[in-house]
Amino acid sequence: MEKDAEAFVDRAAAVLGVGIDPDLRPAVVANFAHFIALMERVEGFEPPESLDPPAVYRP
């Protein structure tokens, strides 16, 4: 996962045209690795069949 975060940070910085301070890069990569781990947990969540959908809110 760390390699995915490193690749993402490098590509995103290139696309956005921004530089990342070499001293701060490890922290940026670590944050994105954490975000990726959280995203994978959310994407992998399967709600139980017994879960009722919420009512539709209409103002």
Residue 10 lies in a domain: yes
HEC profile for 11-48? HHHHHHCCCCCCCCHHHHHHHHHHHHHHHHHHHCCCCC
Residue 14 lies in a domain: yes
Residue 18 domain-assigned (yes or no):
yes
Residue 26 within any structural domain of the chain: yes
pTM for this structure? 0.67
**Residue 6 domain-assigned?**
yes
The parent domain of residue 9 ranges over: 2-43
Residue 7 has pLDDT above 80, yes or no: yes
Above 60 in pLDDT, residue 55?
yes
In a domain, 8, yes or no: yes
Each residue's pLDDT tens digit, 14-45 = 999 999 999 999 999 999 999 988 988 999 88
**pLDDT at residue 1 greater than cutoff 60:** no
φ/ψ of 5, rounded to 5, equals: -65, -40
Considering the domain boundaries, does residue 38 fall inside one?
yes
| Per-residue tokens: 1 | 């996962």
